[in-house]
Amino acid sequence: MVELTPEKRWDYLDRLVKKVIRIKKRKLSLKDAIGDLTIRPLTGIPIALGILFSIWMFFGTFAGFFTDGFMVPLFDEHYLPWIQEAFPAEPAWLYALLVGTPGADNCFEAFGVLTTGLFVPFGVVLWAIIPLYLAIALLEDIGYLPRLAVLIDNVLHKIGLHGFAIVPTVLSFGCNIPGVTAARILETKKERFMMMVILAIFIPCGAQIGIMEETIAGEYGDWLMFAIIGYLLLGYFITGWVLNRIIPGKSPEILIDIPPYQKPTWKNLMMKTWMRVKCFLVHAVPFVILGSLLVNILYIVGIDNGNLTLVEFEETDKSIMGRISMVFEPILSGWFGVPKETILPLVTAFLRKDLAIAQLSVIEMSMYQLFTSVVLVSIYFPCVATFMMLWKELGFIGSLKSILILLIVTFVFGGLLHGLWILMGVA
């Protein structure tokens, strides 16, 4: 038997292929043509931007129609006056816990368990996440996400990830929990750790985006909300770039099957959307209610000579929350340049970031302080449900590493914003 060199083997294979395979000119179908257009950078990037803009318009129109058109009048004009009149005014501490601020004219600013605790999830967030979940399900079903992964692969490789990392990123804009779970599909331990950490820090969930649309965009316009999200995405890439250089390991090349475009089925879209909405109702709503209860307890309970006491509604500086605010004021005001009252949303954000954004919107501060405060609420710590998922996926040591990274990122990116406002002369 004659031993062939590698070059001769390939020559032999080429001759064999020519004998057994006949290559015909492929006739492109409409689906093939669209598939090629969406995967080439020159045409695919504008198409991707157009898709994102369409999703945003659908999101804003849907959420605004139901929230402003139905839920706000229902809660503020009918439900709130009814519960304020029907609920006993005494004892005052129970009224403060469950109904909230006496004389509040809207559920958003009442901050009671039965007012804000119900209005935030059912009056605002629900109508924001439905269009987002529906859009994500549509992109999954038609086969667009694999093409988006290929399109963005070169960019994500710069930060040590391959293109399929866009899938958990997109899912995290609906909810961080399925986003962290979807990071399991990445091939190496390094990729999975990086992906989960930067998702938990920088990607705002649909509930948070919905409240931002209702409060920040409603007050200052969409541009401020886009600026905040843009700053978070900048942090996503910068932190990923740094982690890629300090965490050992390599990122493999992308190997992904790109299915043909297909027509989505209405039943499948509804099933996926309902499953994700149901997850929000089961897992998120209790945390919103718990967050409202916890915050109100911290506001009406004080410590006097080592004993717990009830604090009058007008004397919140003597409460536990008031004392916590005074302890953290040097850091909040000195390093981040935000009011000490921001400590309340930061405490709440551990349970639910959407409720924390709602609390930020009623604190008196400048637009630049609001920008910094929203960024801090977004990055300083994941909500408790996401943190538990990180703990499950990364283990004890991995979770400690993620917390260390999180603390460093918070001080760096929060401090950079304060420095920027000082340079601009607006701090």
Q: Does residue 100 come out as left (phi exceeding 0), alpha (psi in the -120 to 50 range) or beta?
A: left
Tokens 């760096």 belong to residue: 412
Q: Is pLDDT at 351 greater than 60 in this prediction?
A: yes
Q: Who's near 42: CB < 8 A, 6+ residues apart?
A: none
- In the block, tokens 């257009």 appear at 37
Residue 421, pLDDT score:
93
> Helix 144-151 to helix 30-39 angle, to the nearest 10 degrees?
30
- In tens, the pLDDT along 220-240 reads 888 999 999 999 999 999 999
Instruction: Give me the long-range contacts of 34-40 (CB less than 8 A, separation at least 24).
Output: 34/261, 35/147, 35/258, 35/260, 35/261, 38/144, 38/147, 38/151, 39/147, 39/150, 39/151, 39/258
Mean pLDDT, all residues of the chain: 86
Query: Could you tell me the two tokens for 335?
Result: 């390093």
pLDDT for the residue 405? 93
Q: How does residue 411 score in pLDDT terms, banded at 50, 70 and 90?
A: very high
pLDDT exceeds cutoff 70 at 315:
no
DSSP code of residue 340 = G
Question: Taking CA 417 as the corner, what is the angle to CA 414 and CA 201, rounded to the nearest 5 degrees?
Answer: 40
Q: Is pLDDT at 304 greater than 90 in this prediction?
A: no
Give the pLDDT of residue 381.
84
Please give the share of the chain, as a percent, with pLDDT higher than 90: 32
CB 329 within 8 A of CB 340: yes
Q: What is the DSSP letter of 397?
A: H
Rounded CA-CA distance 422/13 in Å is 68
Q: Tokens 């229902």 — which residue?
A: 74
Q: Each residue of 123-152: pLDDT tens digit?
A: 988 998 899 899 989 998 998 988 888 888
Please tell me which residue, 80 or 214, carries the higher pLDDT value: 80
pLDDT average, residue stretch 270-286: 87
Q: Where are the domains of the chain?
A: 33-424
